[in-house]
A and B are shown apart, each in its own frame.
Chain A
Amino acid sequence: MNIYQTTVIRFLWIALVLAGLMGCGGKPAAFKQTAGEMKEGPGVLTGEEGAFVVYDSEKGGGFWERSKEKSEEASEQAGKEARAASDKPSETTQVAADQKSNEAQVTPEEAKEFHEFQQWKKEQQSFKEFQEWKKSAAGKAEYQEFLKWKEWKSYQEWKKQQNQ
Chain B
Amino acid sequence: MKKFSQLGLFTLTMAITILLILPSAQAVDFKISGQINRAVLWGDNGNDDDVKFVDNDNSSTRFRFTGSNEFNEVWTAGIVWEVEMQSNPSDSTDIDIGQNGDSTDVHFDERKIEFYVAHKNWGKIWLGQGDTASNSTSEVDLSGTDVVNYSSIVDMNGGFTFRDKDDNIILDSNGNNTSIGNVFSNFDGLSRRDRFRYDTPTFAGFYASTSFMNGQTWDVALRSAHEWENFGKLAGAIGYVPGDNQRDPYKQFSGSISFLHNSGLNVTLSHAFRNFDGGGRNTARNYYAKLGYKVGKWAFSVDGTRSERVDQNGDEGTSFGGAAVWNVWDSVQFYGSYRWNKLDRDNQNPANTSDPENISSVMIGGRVKF
Contacts and interface: CB of A to CB of B under 8 A. Distances in A.
Interface of A: 3-4, 7-8, 11, 14-15, 18-19, 21-23, 25-39, 41-46, 49-59, 61, 131, 134-135, 137
Contacts of A21: 234
B235 interface: yes
A35 B257 contact: no
A37 B59 contact: yes
B352 interface: no
Interface of B: 20, 25-35, 58-59, 62, 64, 66, 73, 82, 136, 139-142, 146-147, 150-152, 155, 202, 204-207, 222-229, 233-238, 251, 253, 255, 257, 273, 275, 283, 329-333, 367-370
A33 to B, nearest CB: 5
B228 A41 contact: no
Contacts of A131: 26-27
Contacts of A27: 205, 226-229
The CB with the most chain B CB atoms within 10 A, among A18, A39, A57, A59, is that of: A39
A15 B222 contact: yes
Given A51-B66, A56-B29, A35 B136 contact: yes
The CB with the most chain B CB atoms within 10 A, among A4, A25, A33, is that of: A33
30 contacts: A4-B251, A4-B283, A7-B273, A15-B255, A18-B236, A22-B224, A26-B205, A28-B226, A29-B205, A29-B227, A31-B224, A33-B140, A34-B142, A35-B141, A35-B150, A36-B136, A36-B152, A37-B59, A38-B59, A38-B64, A39-B35, A39-B367, A41-B330, A43-B370, A44-B368, A46-B370, A51-B32, A56-B27, A57-B25, A131-B26
Contacts of B26: 57, 131, 134-135
Given A4-B275, A28-B226, A43-B369, 4 more contacts: A18-B234, A45-B370, A57-B25, A57-B29
Contacts of A33: 136, 139-140
Contacts, number: 164
A9 to B, nearest CB: 11
B153 to A, nearest CB: 11
A2 to B, nearest CB: 9
A31 B32 contact: no
B30 A34 contact: no
A98 to B, nearest CB: 44
A138 to B, nearest CB: 12
Contacts of A45: 370
A50 B151 CA distance: 27
Contact of A22 (B226, B253, B330, B370): B226
Contacts of A28: 202, 204-205, 225-226
A37 B146 CA distance: 9
Contacts of A44: 329, 331-332, 368-370
Which 8 A/B pairs are nearest by Cβ-Cβ distance? A28-B205, A26-B226, A51-B33, A51-B31, A35-B146, A31-B225, A35-B139, A35-B150
A39 B150 CA distance: 15
Nearest to A8: B253
Contacts of A56: 27-31
A7 B272 CA distance: 10
Contact of A52 (B31, B58, B73, B235): B31
Contacts of B333: 39
Contacts of B367: 39
A64 to B, nearest CB: 11
B357 to A, nearest CB: 29
